[in-house]
Amino acid sequence: MISNLAVAILNGVVWGLIMALIALGLNMIFGLLHIINMAHGALYMLGAVVAWYLIELTGSFWIALIIAPLCVGLIGLIIERGLIRTIEDKPIITIICTFGLMLAVQQLVLMTFGGSPRRIAPPVAYRFPIFELQYPLMRIMIALISIGLMSGLWIFLRKTKYGLWMRAVVQDREMAVGLGIPVNKVYMWTFILGSALAAFSGVLAAPIVSVEFMMGREVLIMAFIIVIVGGMGNLEGSVLAAIMISLIQGVGALFVPPSVATIFALAFMIIVLLFRPQGLFGE
Amino acid sequence: MFLQKGKSFGFILIFVLILLALIALPFFVDLFYQTFLTELFVWILFAISFDLIFGYTGLLSFGQALFFGLGSYTVTILIRKFGLNTELSLFLSIVIPILFAWFVGYFSVKLTGIHFVIITIIFAIIGNIIGDTWTSLTGGTDGLTFSPRPFRLGFFQINLMDIKGNYYFVLAIVAISYLFLRRMVQSPLGKVFISIRENEERARLIGYNVQRYKLIAFIIAGGLSGLAGGLYSLTLKYAAASYLHWSVSGHAVVYTIVGGMGTLIGPALGTGIIMSLEHYLINFLQATDLVVGIVLVVMVLMAPKGLVGLIQSRFKKGETSA
Amino acid sequence: MPEKNGIILDLKEVNKSFGGLLAVNKVNLSVSQGELRALIGPNGAGKTTLLNLVNGTLPVSGGHIFFKGKEITNLSPHRISHIGIARTLQITSLFSGLTVFENIWTAVQSRKKFFNPFIRALKWQDVKEKTESMLELTGFKDKAHLICSELSYGDQRILEMGVALSTEPDLLLLDEPTAGLNSQESMALVKKMRSMLSGQTIILVEHDMGVVMELADNISVLHYGAIIAEGTPDVIKENEEVKKVYLGSEHA
């Protein structure tokens, strides 16, 4: 029993750290720039799919981990330049436009990659014992990579010029323009970064859940929920909310059927939305 | 918003003509097409019910699939498991979604913007999960099949196992629903909905209880979505949990936007065109979603008022140059 | 029911704070029926917040608001509209996609108890007549079928007043009606206000001192959320503290 609990907790934390990445990406785009990107889940999926192709080509998970997000970041750039630029500030149109994009991208992947899920071999196969069970080292590594990425992001945002610019633009766009900050460039880079984070999340998730063209759909909603519960614009809040929600689902699944655990998590979401729409950790 | 006498005469004329054409159609097309058209009518009903809350009231709900699925399962389960007659089952396929819409709507309309979108999706996801897992009731992803008895109203009877009969049955109900909604959007109640869409705060300041009317719109749309679901199951003699997924709501969004939101005729037109497009394309590419996605993006960017908007601006240009 | 020239609006010790910020500070204010009370003060003094408290858009942190003798503190805006208070906003708030006719209609219609979904709205003759008389009053009869975003900004301000007036209010709250207008447009607006709003009880938030001096019966001066002076325009003009607060500048 205790080993089941320990495994569930570990799994919850690991998955939470993966979700935290995609939520951070979404929070930058949605929470900070107020752009509602329904295609964000598709970017996550693309990260996993591109990684799969790269692994087929090179056999290296690490190459995929670096290159796939770069590719998806590029796609993010195209989306931002092509679509978002034209429809900024009109939320309903953005929602619908990116929804259409999501449909198109999913279908493109279906046509090229195919409909059946494929597995990515884990980068390491070692398992170590936790109480009575064996726990895959791979998951711990994934968690550590995620933490590493988040730390990198934190440093980037706090200690670099770009990070400062981004926070200025979010606070007061007019003033940022007045201060000479290249606001359009900041928007663009934020979108690219957000997309790359979604892709990272996809690459890290791939060894655990397997890669398929629909994998973005459910994750998309989870990401929005995490961002809203954690507080829009509150990056630390997203990380906490991601881990919290994953834990509730994971540990809950030990005691009740997983679908019921998910429903409880969702019901909890509804309550947060109704009583604290600014998020649990938002102001 | 307000139609002059001339326009409403024009509408009646066109409506009757189209109706007559649709009534005559089964004598000229095969059973496969009749079934396709019957499904088309159902989706038109779903799209115009979505237009009520989105096009007219301004509420973007991706959760209408929940009520569609509920209507669909109500009919299926009542007939298959309880042997209820078709008339009562169809009636309940409106009532039960209304009750759920009341519950979901009560909480959802307290929110706005993306929060509203998300909460409606969450409710739909919960419904979807229940549908997928409560297999004893819903048959899960395999679904349930059934055979409905003929629909009886007084001396009048339609056999739904007969494709032609089914066609006329659905056509009649959808036509009536269309007229019902059309009158509603022209009515004082409709004006309240429109004012909420245009400027919620101004509507509130001049004395409209905005939350109450949002809820009313949500409930009516939920009931009609349920009716669409009920008709869908009666036509296919089948219900499945996949109809409860929020992306099904996405269909209504696409049809409505492409056709022209806030016009009723727009969603009807959009449904007809997109579904026909999908139907036609499926023979060549499997990639219907791709085309639909691209069409949606293009429409939203270039013609946010949809096809109806494009047609209207053509007429306007004609008028001013005269 | 207050007799003519009785107190129609009474604020007692009204407070509003946002977190640590005290936006409205123990305000006591009484407005008589038929009076035009101007509410002035530097930016951020709390004028708009005060209006928001009266019309229910924001809840008070303390104190009470009475209207026509009854307490209306913290009632929701739509209920307050039916009790008899109407409002225009600093940034014009209209049904921008609808025509002038439809904007007025929607406001006139709001007084009905039941919105029948089975009849055509235009069948309501009484609403139609009232709408048409409102169009006369506002001077928009021949512009009735224009989409209101096609009107000039000055016309939109007038329309908004017409929309507010269409709800048959006993008290009108006007938030900087001349904001964003040049002096010509401001004069036209003031002229319109004289003809449209005679006899109305009004609280007018304004920055344009010329307009204030011309229209106000009484002035209340707000500074950091508190009333620092109150009186007729002549009295306020001479008030030392008020002059200090405004740093000697009078906006034209």
Domain of A158 in residue numbering reads as 2-216
Where does B160-249 show beta strands of DSSP type E?
238-239
Mean pLDDT in residue range A163-185: 79
How far apart (Å, rounded) are the C-alpha atoms in residues A241 and A243? 6
Counting the structural domains of chain A, the total is 1
pLDDT of residue A167: 77
Q: Is B300 close to A96, i.e. CB distance below 8 A?
A: yes
Using DSSP, state whether C246 is helix, strand or coil.
coil
Using DSSP, state whether B148 is helix, strand or coil.
coil
pTM: 0.90
Asked whether the beta carbons of A264 and B125 are under 8 A apart, the reply is no
- A65's tokens: 């981990």
Asked whether the beta carbons of A279 and A272 are under 8 A apart, the reply is yes
Mean pLDDT in residue range A170-192: 81
Which pLDDT tens digit goes with each residue over A27-81? Answer: 988 877 778 888 999 999 999 999 999 988 888 888 889 999 999 999 999 888 8
Greatest alpha-carbon pair distance for chain C in Å reads 63
Which pLDDT tens digit goes with each residue over B11-38? Answer: 888 899 999 999 998 888 888 889 999 9
Contacting residues of B for C117, CB less than 8 Å apart: 183-184, 187-190
pLDDT of residue C3: 46
For residue A213, report the phi and psi dihedrals to the nearest 5 degrees. -70, -20
How far apart (Å, rounded) are the C-alpha atoms in residues C228 and C241? 8
**Smallest Cβ distance to B195: which of C99, C106, C124?**
C106
Mean pLDDT in residue range C78-101: 94
Would you give the distance in Å from CA C10 to the centre of its chain?
A: 16
Q: Which of B2, B206, B211, B316 to mutate to test the interface with C (most CBs of C within 10 A)?
A: B206
Burial of B202 (0-12, 13-18, 19+ CB in 10 A): buried
Give the pLDDT band of residue B96 (cuts 50, 70, 90).
very high
How far apart (Å, rounded) are the C-alpha atoms in residues A108 and A114? 9
**Is the pLDDT higher at A91 or at C71?**
C71
**Is the pLDDT higher at C250 or at B268?**
B268
Using DSSP, state whether B143 is helix, strand or coil.
coil
Residue type, C41: G
Find the Cα–Cα–Cα–Cα dihedral C138, C144, C147, C148, rounded to 10°.
Answer: 0
**Smallest Cβ distance to B111: which of A111, A224, A273?**
A273
Closest-CA distance of chain A to residue B319, Å: 29
pLDDT of residue C172: 96
Running DSSP on this structure, what letter comes out for residue B150? P
Residue A224 located in a structural domain: no
Give the pLDDT band of residue B6 (cuts 50, 70, 90).
low
**Is the pLDDT higher at A15 or at A253?**
A15
How far apart (Å, rounded) are the C-alpha atoms in residues A61 and A47? 12
How far apart (Å, rounded) are the C-alpha atoms in residues B64 and B219? 11
Lowest mean pLDDT among B301-310, B313-322, C97-106: B313-322
pLDDT over 90 (residue C203): yes
Contacting residues of C for B209, CB less than 8 Å apart: 76, 78
Q: Is B208 close to C78, i.e. CB distance below 8 A?
A: yes
Give the pLDDT band of residue A251 (cuts 50, 70, 90).
confident
Residue A259 located in a structural domain: no
Q: Is B205 close to C87, i.e. CB distance below 8 A?
A: yes
List chains adjacent to chain C, taking adjacency as at least 3 C-beta pairs closer than 8 Å: B
How far apart (Å, rounded) are the C-alpha atoms in residues B117 and A92? 10
- The per-residue DSSP string of B263-316 comes to SSHHHHHHHHHHHHHHHHHTTT-S-HHHHHHHHHHHHHHH-TTHHHHHHHHHHH
Residue A272 located in a structural domain: no
Strand partners of residue A136 = A127
pLDDT of residue B36: 92
pLDDT of residue B205: 96
B-C contacts (CB, under 8 Å): 100
> Alpha helix (H) ranges present in B52-162?
64-82, 86-108, 113-133, 135-138
pLDDT of residue A117: 87
pLDDT of residue B322: 41
Using DSSP, state whether B262 is helix, strand or coil.
coil
How far apart (Å, rounded) are the C-alpha atoms in residues A164 and A182? 12
What is the residue extent of each domain of chain B?
Answer: 29-245
How confident is the prediction for chain B on average, in pLDDT?
88
Contacting residues of C for B216, CB less than 8 Å apart: none
* Chain B contact residues (CB < 8 Å to C): 1-2, 183-184, 186-192, 194-195, 198-199, 201-210
pLDDT of residue B317: 66
pLDDT of residue B41: 96
Percent composition of chain B: helix, strand, coil (DSSP 3-state, to 5): 80, 5, 20
**Smallest Cβ distance to A95: which of B117, B119, B301?**
B117
Contacting residues of C for B208, CB less than 8 Å apart: 78, 110
Is C112 in the B-facing interface, judged by CB distances under 8 Å?
yes
How far apart (Å, rounded) are the C-alpha atoms in residues A70 and C250? 59
Helix axes B163-186, B188-198, angle to 10 degrees: 70
Is A247 in the B-facing interface, judged by CB distances under 8 Å?
no
Give the pLDDT band of residue B120 (cuts 50, 70, 90).
very high
Mean pLDDT in residue range C78-89: 95
Find the Cα–Cα–Cα–Cα dihedral C69, C71, C72, C73, rounded to 10°.
Answer: 140
Q: Is C55 close to B205, i.e. CB distance below 8 A?
A: yes
Contacting residues of B for A269, CB less than 8 Å apart: 122
